[in-house]
Chains A and B, each alone.
Chain A
Amino acid sequence: MQTLSNDRLRSEWAASQLLAKALCQYYGQALINTATRFSTSLSESQYRTNLGSCGPDIDAIQSSCAASCPEFGLTAADFREAIGAAADKYLIGFAPREEAPSVEEIRDFVGELQHSDLYLALACERGNDHAWQQFDRDYRPFIERLARHMARNGSDADEVIDSVYAELFGTKIVDGVRQSKFKSYTGRGTLRGWLRAVVTNAVVDLYRGRQSEISLENWSESGGETRERPSFTTSAHRAEETMVATVTRERYRSVTVSALDEALASLDDHEKLLLLYYHVDGLKLREIARIVEEPASPIRRWFQRRTKRGGKAESGRVHESTVMRWLEKAYRKVSDHFQTCLGKKHGLTAAEIEICRGLATEDLGQSVELRAETESFERVEARRSQVEGAS
């Protein structure tokens, strides 16, 4: 984590950094660098002022939460501090910027937070009995269900549930303060979604501790499709070795790999992520479609921006075929860049480019080919459907 000079920071900011470091050490996992990315202390000072201007909005939300759950005993200052930490992390930590976020931007951000979830988590973090009772009533069944689904047996699931509760409550004391896992929940996503990640991590830790990674690979939530996909780390290498066995091919292998890497690097990040989720992590089309389900999803907007140029943007549910079309566009982009790179940069002839294309697409037999004239979506989709249907 970046070291910051104290003279630039307000004491509360320094305290939050120390806490972040402590959390890093305690949980043995990484937190994203939430250190300020402002270029000047003036911007930071402006940010603090703007955040302060949102105080009445934050207090109004706190009052509303307190009216619903008066027995939680949280003060307005507690809530303001939590909101401030969330804003520091997401508005500043995740978005490099020259200027401070405006009051309006901060107000929108605060409005988007999951207020009641954050209120409950804060009260639990402070050890409020009423909050814990509500949490147990509302979320224990969900935690148990998740753990029993992911763990190999009931005993492992019980162990996961116990460790999750221990983490949530906090069994370690740092400088006289109990370190509850709830402290790391900011309310940016739902408490339910956050718990899903916490339980998943607990299961990973359990099996990693036992050096039993096989059980993780055998998780059933992936369904049949991913198991049908090739094991990229083993068979892929073997197939690649076979592929480059001949001297002629060896000659073109390095240039093919180089051009392919360059072509993949030419993709935008969201296109790369799409390919990685699909080809490397084995997500199904409908699973990918879920993360872009929200019409306001930035990833969806980025893909549809391209769509808009050639046709109308889609506003309804993202169907699997839509994701397939996005994949197809990414393939086409890779294909175009690949061919251009081989011809212009490496000076290969059309015949040689064809050999390279053959090398690069042997693995794509059931998905797509890197042809200059990309085959129709219908054909690609039909083949993907066959693969998915067969699994």
Chain B
Amino acid sequence: MMVHCRLNSLAGVKTESIPVASHLDEDAMSAFVEGQLSENETRSIVSHLTSCGSCREFTARLIRLESMFTADEESMIVDDAPSRLHQFLERFASQIIPSSGEDTVFAYQNPDENVEKPAETPPDKPKDQS
């Protein structure tokens, strides 16, 4: 456990000696976690984080949260997308193809009518989507 111990105790000892007024604020830590900072700014922050356990621990929490929430949001978008697509396709299909109860009737329609219908629908579609 020596490397873990040394890393831990070195960081801990240094943190105690850091003046409270030198800690990073939320603005700087969040910008760092988002990777928004320049090289000079990042160098300064990284140097502080290697010696300040409390700021580093806080940024670690933010990294976890960002990682988790972004993953959640991505999965929500993925989950959401098929349903929107499904709705769109259903609506689109309903304009071209009558509902299932009328499928039999559709089977007996004149093929020419089938060709005309899609051509009429597009101008209305964007309005439907909005």
Which A residues form the contact surface with B (CB < 8 A)? Answer: 1, 24, 29-33, 89-90, 94-97, 109, 112, 145-146, 149-150, 184-186, 188-190, 193-194, 196-198, 200-201, 204, 219, 221-223, 230, 232-233, 235-237, 239-240, 243, 256-257, 260-261, 264, 269-270, 272-273, 275-277, 279-283, 286-288, 290-294, 296-299, 301, 334, 359-364
Knowing A243-B2, A281-B60 are in contact, say whether A276-B7 is a contact too (CB < 8 A). yes
- Residues in A with CB closer than 8 Å to B29 are 197
C-alpha gap A97/B40 in the complex (Å): 10
The residue in chain A whose Cβ has the minimal distance to the Cβ of B44 is: A94
Selected A-B contacts with CB under 8 Å, 7 pairs: A194-B26, A194-B27, A200-B62, A201-B58, A221-B64, A240-B1, A240-B2
- Establish whether residues B26 and A197, one from each chain, have CB atoms under 8 Å apart when the complex forms: yes
Most chain B CB neighbours (cut-off 10 Å) among A1, A32, A360, A361: A32
Knowing A281-B60, A290-B67 are in contact, say whether A196-B30 is a contact too (CB < 8 A). yes
* A-contact 0/1 string along B57-90, CB 8 Å cutoff: 1101111111111100000000000000000000
* A-contact 0/1 string along B25-36, CB 8 Å cutoff: 111111111111
- Residues in B with CB closer than 8 Å to A269 are 43, 46-47, 50
- Establish whether residues B50 and A276, one from each chain, have CB atoms under 8 Å apart when the complex forms: yes
Knowing A196-B66, A287-B64, A287-B67 are in contact, say whether A189-B27 is a contact too (CB < 8 A). yes
- Establish whether residues B26 and A95, one from each chain, have CB atoms under 8 Å apart when the complex forms: no
- Establish whether residues A94 and B64, one from each chain, have CB atoms under 8 Å apart when the complex forms: no
Contact residues, B10-64 vs A (CB, 8 A): 10-11, 19-50, 53, 56-58, 60-64
Describe B's contact surface by its main secondary structure.
helix
- Residues in B with CB closer than 8 Å to A24 are 21
Residue from the list B2, B21, B61, B63 in contact with A1, Cβ < 8 A? B21
The residue in chain B whose Cβ has the minimal distance to the Cβ of A199 is: B65
- Residues in B with CB closer than 8 Å to A109 are 38
- Residues in A with CB closer than 8 Å to B19 are 30
- Establish whether residues B68 and A201, one from each chain, have CB atoms under 8 Å apart when the complex forms: no
- Establish whether residues A31 and B1, one from each chain, have CB atoms under 8 Å apart when the complex forms: no
The residue in chain A whose Cβ has the minimal distance to the Cβ of B58 is: A200
- Establish whether residues B22 and A273, one from each chain, have CB atoms under 8 Å apart when the complex forms: no
C-alpha gap A87/B6 in the complex (Å): 37
Describe A's contact surface by its main secondary structure.
helix
B105 at the A/B interface (Cβ < 8 Å)?
Answer: no
B4 at the A/B interface (Cβ < 8 Å)?
Answer: yes
- Establish whether residues A261 and B10, one from each chain, have CB atoms under 8 Å apart when the complex forms: yes
B8 at the A/B interface (Cβ < 8 Å)?
Answer: yes
Which B residues form the contact surface with A (CB < 8 A)? Answer: 1-8, 10-11, 19-50, 53, 56-58, 60-70
C-alpha gap A272/B47 in the complex (Å): 9
- Establish whether residues A363 and B7, one from each chain, have CB atoms under 8 Å apart when the complex forms: no
Min C-beta distance of A239 to chain B, whole Å: 4
- Establish whether residues B65 and A221, one from each chain, have CB atoms under 8 Å apart when the complex forms: yes
- Establish whether residues B60 and A294, one from each chain, have CB atoms under 8 Å apart when the complex forms: no
Residue from the list B5, B24, B33, B50 in contact with A272, Cβ < 8 A? B50
Knowing A184-B26, A188-B36 are in contact, say whether A363-B64 is a contact too (CB < 8 A). no
Q: A29-B25, A188-B31, A291-B32 are in contact. List 11 more A-B contacts (CB 8 A).
A: A32-B24, A94-B28, A150-B65, A184-B25, A189-B36, A196-B66, A232-B4, A280-B56, A283-B63, A297-B35, A361-B3
C-alpha gap A221/B60 in the complex (Å): 11
- Establish whether residues A94 and B40, one from each chain, have CB atoms under 8 Å apart when the complex forms: yes
- Residues in B with CB closer than 8 Å to A188 are 27-28, 31, 36-37
Min C-beta distance of A332 to chain B, whole Å: 13
- Residues in B with CB closer than 8 Å to A364 are 3
Residue from the list A149, A239, A277 in contact with B60, Cβ < 8 A? A277
- Residues in A with CB closer than 8 Å to B24 are 30, 32
